[in-house]
A = this chain, B = another copy of it.
Amino acid sequence: MASSTEENYLKSLYNLANVQGEVNLSELAASLQVSLPTANSMVKSLQKSGWVIYEKYKPLTLTKEGKKTAALIIRKHRLTEMFLVKVMNFGWEEVHEVAEQIEHIHAPKFFERMDQMLGFPTVDPHGSPIPDPQGKITPLSYTPLAHAKPGQHVQLAALTNSSTEFLEFLNSRKLSLGTQLTILSKESYDQSMVVSYAHHPSETLSEKVCERLLVRVLD
């Protein structure tokens, strides 16, 4: 069984996986905030345990086992976030830290109960998909708000970034998942967009924000 540290490496590897599912050591080290040699030696040991495929100077890939293990940790993380928000009344900006700890708890029944109490949710409070109990994950197919056209009606469905600061920014604008927006205009100079939604007849969102908001196009 993986230690918490190992679980964190697998999770990072899973989340960083690029087009080919390949990740550089440096990316991994940066994402975990450890030095390159630390990541290097850990990766060697993950390889010995059969979780990653690794050859000197080559990029890293998770094995099938590694992917599944990672997905199941992410499942626990997202289920926990959902539980904190729906059952324990946390704000969506408060749940990450706690979930980072609870995801390492070994107690299948605890997470099964959460799942059941939540009615088997498929996405977490930030719209990210929750892997199923087998570690299968259905990728999202939403569009960045930045790609929407003036006149379109869209609904906020997920975020590509869930940092506390961004979530607090969204709170301050009363933007939450499900909010329906009408795109009023797009400024070609800086790609910012002017949108309207309930009680907010005109709100300007920067390019950065528009890229982080994933929407479902309604018309």
* Chain A interfacial positions (CB closer than 8 Å to B): 84, 87-90, 94, 97-98, 101-102, 105-107, 109-110, 113-114, 117
A117 and B101 contacting across the interface, CB-CB below 8 Å? no
What distance in Å separates the Cβ of A112 from its nearest Cβ neighbour in chain B? 10
What distance in Å separates the Cβ of A89 from its nearest Cβ neighbour in chain B? 7
B105 and A101 contacting across the interface, CB-CB below 8 Å? yes
* Chain A interface, >50% SS class: helix
Q: A88 contacts which chain B residues (CB < 8 A)?
A: 110, 113-114, 117
Q: A98-B107, A102-B102, A102-B105 are in contact. List 17 more A-B contacts (CB 8 A).
A: A84-B110, A87-B87, A88-B110, A88-B113, A88-B114, A88-B117, A89-B113, A90-B109, A90-B113, A94-B109, A97-B107, A98-B105, A98-B109, A98-B110, A101-B105, A101-B106, A101-B107
